[in-house]
Amino acid sequence: QVQLVESGGGLVQAGGSLRLSCAASGRTFSSYIMGWFRQAPEKEREFVAAISRGGVTAYADSVKGRFTISRDNAKSSVYLQMNSLKPEDTAVYYCAATLNVGSGRSQDEYEYWGQGTQVTVSS
């Protein structure tokens, strides 16, 4: 089992940047596919980005070119660098982990979840 703790959320003006971190504990971090999801008020949780064991990345179209996912296996951490933030990026952001090999885009693939961190982008 793995425990995930997100940090780095906050309030930022449109056009600004934030860097989210997710620290993992438990089994070997490098074995996990890692993902970021978000849930805005009154909306379903949606895929944001994922990174494979080997560092291959995938992004939602809505964040491509603005967000970057990365991982540091030595620190058992995954990051989400968010640039050019927009008000529509406002949501609770969740870190997730899975040993299952799939597209990485479906929340159903993920076994472990963090508690979430709030990101608010003001206009």
CB 82 within 8 A of CB 66: yes
Which of 24-28, 82-86, 119-123 bottoms out in mean pLDDT, i.e. has the lowest? 24-28
The predicted pLDDT at position 84 comes to: 98
| In the predicted structure, residue 86 carries a pLDDT above the cut 80 | yes
Q: Summarize pLDDT for 17-37 with one digit per residue, the tens.
A: 999 999 999 778 999 999 999
| In the predicted structure, residue 68 carries a pLDDT above the cut 80 | yes
CA 2, distance to chain mean position in Å, is 16
The DSSP symbol for 14 reads T
7 forms bridges with which residues in the sheet? Answer: 21
The predicted pLDDT at position 101 comes to: 85
93 forms bridges with which residues in the sheet? Answer: 38, 117
For 117, counting Cβ atoms within 10 Å of its Cβ (0-12 exposed, 13-18 middle, 19+ buried), the class is buried
Element holding 123 (H helix, E strand): none
The DSSP symbol for 63 reads T
What are the angstrom distances between the C-alpha of 119 and each of 36, 40, 100? 13, 10, 28
